[in-house]
C-alpha cells in the first residue's frame, strides 16, 4: 500500500506524514496500533481528520455510512460518551476508531464481546482498576544512558571498531590498552579481552569479558534499562493481573530487578557511616576521659606526646567500637581515623578504601547484572505480551463500563426499527424518576412516517435516539433500550432543523434530497422540522413526491413537520404524534414522549403561550395575557 493511493491524501499531505513519522512503514505500523493521537499531534491535523485518515488505512467504512454533518456529530457524541470510561491512550485510540459497518457476523461478534465485558464489569473493583489503568501504557524503550564511571577496555583497533559499530560507546567510554592511563579513575573497567595481555592481579575494579561476548555481557544495561525505566508500569500491570486472576511472570521479573536495586553502591552511605562513627566515638571519648585520673608522671608523658596506657586503652576500645559500627553499615572492616581528640578522618586512607571496596562491589554487581540480563532477556516477549493483554483489557473494560453504566442491551438484527423503553444517551445517567423511556417502531410497509406534535415535546430527541440506536448497533455496540430491533442500512442521513426554504434554498433542497432517493442503497433518513418553501403548495407536492420515492424503496424515513395535514392531501403516509397534555404546577409542559401511532398531535401553542405568560412579569405578562384571551 502506498500512502498517496489512499482517498483524500495527496502528495503534499503524504510527504508531511512520512516526515513526521520518519518512514511510510512507521506510519502504517502506528495506524495498525491505532495511534490516533500520534497523528493528531501533527500540525494542521485535527483529531477528526486523524481518525478519518487511519480509518481509511484500516478500511473502516465510517464515511460511507454517515452521510450528513449531523449524523457525524451524533456518532462523535456516542464516541465521547464511551471515551469517559477509557483509561489508557491505547483504549482511547481504539474507541476513536470504532466504526459502523454492515457485516452482520462481525457486528454480532463485537456485540457479544461487549455484553460479556458488561457482565464481567459487574464483578470487578471498577474504581481500583481504573486508578491502576490510568498509569498503564506501552513500555518505554529509551536510549541507553552514558555512564562516566565506567570504561570498556579493548586490546586492538579491530575490537575498538567492532564495539563502536555495536553502539556500546553510547553507554561508556571505550579505551584501548595503548591509550590507557590510570584505570583507577573509573569505578568499573570491563576488560574485553581476546589474548588477555593485560595483568590485572593488582586491580580491584576490573572484570574480564571475552571479545566474543554478547552486548548484554559487556553492557548488561542494554537489557536492564528497559526494566528499570518500566518498573512502575510493570508493578501496575502485575497488580491488575492479580485482580483479574491472570497468570504473570512479572512477580519473578520484579524480584530480579529489586535484587539489583538493593545491591547498588551508594558512596554517600559509606561517608555517612564513617562520619556517624566519628561523632559517636568523640562523644564516648569525651565522657570516658572525664573519669580518668592521671599521675604527674602520666601527665608528663602526655606532654611529651606519649599516650598514657589508661587513655590508650580507652582509645583502643572506642576505636574498635567505631570500626564495628562502620562494618555493620558498610560490610567493610577498616580504620579511617587518626588517633587524637576529637578524632580526625584520614581522608587519603578513606578515599583509598572507598575506591578499593567500590571496585570490588562494582565487579560483584556487574556479574549480578549480567546474570540478571541473561535471565530477563528470556522474559521480554512474555512481558510485552502481558502489557499488550492489559491494554487490550482496558479497551474491552471501557466498553463494558460504558454498557454497564448506561444499562445497554444487545439489539436484534431484523427487518425494521423498533425499541421498547429506549432512552437518549444524554438522559441515561440521570435519575430514572425524572426521565421517561419511550417505545417506537418504524417497519415495513410503513417505512415512512410523519412525526407531529408539541414544540419541546421530544421529537428531535426521538430522532436522535433512533439515530443513536442505528449507529451503535452497526458499531457492534449494545443500545440504550431494554429491547430493540434494527435493520442494517448502508447510509444514515440526519437533517437538522431548517426554519424556511427561500428561493435560493429551494434549489439547494432539490440538489440535496432528490439524489438520495434515486440511489439503490438502503437508507435511514431522519428529517427534523422540514419547513415551508416559498410556496407552501409547491413544498407539499415536492415533499409528497419525496415520501413516495422512499416508500417504494427499501429505505426508512421519519419526517418531523408541521405540514402534515397538507401532505396527507397529496399522499398516504402514517402520521405519529407526541402531544402535550397540559402544564404542571411549575408551568412546565406535561408531555407523553412516546409517540402515538397513527395519531395527529396538536402543536399546543396555547399551552406554550400560557407557560410563557406564567413565567413573565410586568407589561410583558399583560401582553401575553391579552393574547391568551383570544384563545
Cell numbers of 47, please? 483529531
Does the pLDDT value for residue 503 go beyond 70? Answer: no
Provide the strand spans (E) within 177-270: 188-193, 206-210
Q: How far is CA 86 from CA 37, 402, 501, in A?
A: 14, 9, 43
- Residue whose C-alpha cell reads 483509561 in the numeric block: 87
Burial of 61 (0-12, 13-18, 19+ CB in 10 A): middle
630 falls in which pLDDT band (50, 70, 90)?
A: confident
pLDDT of residue 263: 64
- 549 against 180, higher pLDDT: 549
Q: Which of 77, 12, 82 is nearest to 42 (CA)?
A: 12
pLDDT of residue 587: 65
What is the mean predicted confidence (pLDDT) over 481-493?
Answer: 96
Radius of gyration of the chain measured on its C-alpha atoms:
40
End-to-end CA distance of the chain: 70
Which fold would CATH assign to domain 1-59?
A: DNA polymerase; domain 1 (1.10.150)
pLDDT of residue 539: 76
pLDDT of residue 533: 56
Tens-digit pLDDT profile for residues 313-354:
888 888 888 888 888 888 788 888 888 778 888 888 888 887
Of 344-358, 431-445, 461-475, the range with the highest mean pLDDT is 461-475
List the CATH code of the domain at 412-600: 3.40.50.300
Tens-digit pLDDT profile for residues 197-208:
777 666 788 889
pLDDT of residue 1: 72
> Is the separation of the CB atoms in 321 and 285 below 8 Å?
no
Cell numbers of 384, please? 510485552
Of 61-70, 194-203, 300-309, 433-442, the range with the highest mean pLDDT is 433-442
Question: Could you state, in order of their start, the residue ranges of all structural domains in the chain?
Answer: 1-59, 267-358, 412-600
Tens-digit pLDDT profile for residues 385-405:
999 999 999 999 999 999 999
564 falls in which pLDDT band (50, 70, 90)?
A: confident
Give the 3-state secondary structure of 32-75.
Answer: HCCCHHHHHCCCCCCHHHHHHHHHHHHCCCHHHHECCHHHHHHH
DSSP character for 143?
Answer: P
Beta-strand relationship, 344-345 and 448-453: unpaired
| Dihedral (Cα; 623, 627, 630, 631), 10-degree rounding | -140
Does the pLDDT value for residue 496 go beyond 90? Answer: no
DSSP character for 533?
Answer: B
Mean pLDDT of the chain: 86
In the β-sheet with 448-453, what is the strand arrangement from edge to edge? 491-495, 523-527, 556-560, 448-453, 574-578
Tens-digit pLDDT profile for residues 407-420:
999 999 999 999 99
**Collapsing DSSP states into helix, strand and coil, what is residue 535?**
coil
In the β-sheet with 188-193, what is the strand arrangement from edge to edge? 173-176, 150-154, 188-193, 206-210
What does the alpha-carbon distance between residue 61 and residue 81 come to, in Å, rounded to a whole number? 21
What does the alpha-carbon distance between residue 547 and residue 549 come to, in Å, rounded to a whole number? 5
Task: Assign residue 442 a region (left: φ > 0; alpha: ψ between -120 and 50; beta: otherwise).
Answer: beta
Element (H, E) at 438: strand 438-442
pTM: 0.81
Amino acid at each position: 500500500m502506498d500512502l498517496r493511493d489512499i482517498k483524500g491524501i495527496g502528495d503534499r499531505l503524504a510527504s508531511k506524514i512520512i516526515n513526521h513519522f520518519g518512514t511510510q512503514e512507521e506510519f502504517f505500523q502506528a495506524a495498525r496500533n491505532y495511534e490516533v493521537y500520534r497523528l493528531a499531534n501533527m500540525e494542521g491535523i485535527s483529531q477528526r481528520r486523524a481518525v478519518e485518515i487511519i480509518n481509511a488505512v484500516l478500511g473502516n467504512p465510517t464515511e460511507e455510512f454517515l452521510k450528513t454533518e449531523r449524523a457525524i456529530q451524533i456518532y462523535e457524541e456516542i464516541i465521547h460518551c464511551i471515551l469517559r470510561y477509557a483509561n489508557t491512550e491505547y483504549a482511547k485510540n481504539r474507541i476513536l476508531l470504532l466504526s459502523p459497518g454492515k457485516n452482520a457476523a462481525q457486528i454480532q461478534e463485537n456485540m457479544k464481546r461487549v455484553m460479556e465485558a458488561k457482565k464481567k464489569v459487574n464483578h470487578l473493583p471498577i474504581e481500583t482498576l481504573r486508578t491502576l489503568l490510568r498509569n498503564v501504557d506501552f513500555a518505554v524503550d529509551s536510549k541507553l544512558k552514558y555512564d562516566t564511571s565506567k570504561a570498556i577496555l579493548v586490546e586492538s583497533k579491530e575490537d575498538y571498531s567492532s564495539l563502536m559499530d555495536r553502539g556500546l560507546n553510547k553507554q561508556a567510554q571505550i579505551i584501548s590498552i595503548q591509550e590507557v592511563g590510570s584505570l583507577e579513575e573509573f569505578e568499573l573497567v570491563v576488560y574485553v579481552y581476546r589474548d588477555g595481555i593485560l595483568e590485572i592481579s593488582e586491580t580491584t575494579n576490573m572484570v574480564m569479558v571475552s571479545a566474543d561476548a554478547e552486548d548484554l555481557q559487556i553492557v548488561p544495561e542494554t537489557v536492564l534499562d528497559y526494566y528499570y525505566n518500566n518498573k512502575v508500569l510493570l508493578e501496575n500491570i502485575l497488580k491488575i493481573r492479580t485482580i483479574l486472576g491472570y497468570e504473570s511472570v512479572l512477580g519473578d521479573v520484579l524480584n530480579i530487578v529489586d535484587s539489583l536495586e538493593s545491591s547498588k553502591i551508594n558512596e554517600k552511605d559509606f561517608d555517612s557511616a564513617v562520619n556517624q562513627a566519628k561523632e559517636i566515638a568523640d562523644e564516648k571519648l569525651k565522657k570516658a576521659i572525664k573519669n580518668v585520673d592521671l599521675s604527674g608522671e602520666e601527665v608528663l608523658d602526655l606532654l611529651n606526646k606519649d599516650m598514657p596506657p589508661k587513655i590508650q586503652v580507652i582509645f583502643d576500645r572506642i576505636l574498635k567500637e567505631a570500626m564495628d559500627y562502620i562494618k555493620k553499615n558498610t560490610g567493610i572492616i577498616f580504620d579511617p581515623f587518626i588517633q587524637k581528640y576529637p578524632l580526625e578522618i584520614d581522608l587519603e586512607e578513606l578515599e583509598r578504601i572507598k575506591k578499593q571496596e567500590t571496585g570490588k562491589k562494582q565487579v560483584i554487581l556487574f556479574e549480578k547484572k549480567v546474570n540478571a540480563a541473561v535471565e530477563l532477556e528470556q522474559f521480554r516477549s512474555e512481558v510485552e505480551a502481558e502489557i499488550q493483554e492489559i491494554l487490550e483489557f482496558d479497551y474491552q473494560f471501557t466498553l463494558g463500563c460504558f454498557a454497564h453504566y448506561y444499562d445497554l442491551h444487545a439489539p436484534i438484527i431484523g427487518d425494521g426499527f423498533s425499541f421498547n423503553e429506549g432512552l437518549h444517551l444524554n438522559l441515561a445517567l440521570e435519575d430514572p424518576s425524572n426521565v421517561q423511556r419511550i417505545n417506537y417502531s418504524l417497519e415495513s410497509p410503513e417505512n415512512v412516517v410523519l412525526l407531529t406534535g408539541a414544540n419541546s415535546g421530544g421529537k428531535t430527541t426521538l430522532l436522535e435516539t433512533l439515530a443513536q440506536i442505528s449507529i451503535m448497533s452497526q458499531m457492534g455496540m449494545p443500545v440504550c433500550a431494554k429491547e430493540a430491533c434494527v435493520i442494517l442500512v448502508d447510509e444514515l442521513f440526519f437533517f437538522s432543523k431548517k426554519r424556511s426554504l427561500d428561493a435560493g434554498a429551494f434549489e439547494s433542497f432539490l440538489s440535496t434530497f432528490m439524489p438520495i432517493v434515486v440511489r439503490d442503497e438502503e437508507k435511514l433518513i431522519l428529517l427534523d422540522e422540514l419547513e415551508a418553501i416559498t410556496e407552501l403548495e409547491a413544498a407539499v407536492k415536492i415533499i409528497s413526491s419525496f415520501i413516495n420515492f422512499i416508500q417504494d424503496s427499501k429505505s426508512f424515513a421519519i419526517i418531523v413537520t408541521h405540514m402534515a395535514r397538507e401532505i396527507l392531501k397529496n399522499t398516504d403516509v402514517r402520521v405519529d404524534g407526541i402531544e402535550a397534555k397540559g402544564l404542571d404546577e411549575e408551568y412546565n409542559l406535561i408531555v407523553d414522549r412516546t409517540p402515538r401511532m397513527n395519531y395527529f398531535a396538536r402543536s399546543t401553542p396555547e399551552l406554550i403561550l400560557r407557560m410563557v405568560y406564567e413565567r413573565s412579569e410586568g407589561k410583558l405578562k399583560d401582553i401575553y395575557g391579552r393574547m391568551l384571551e383570544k384563545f
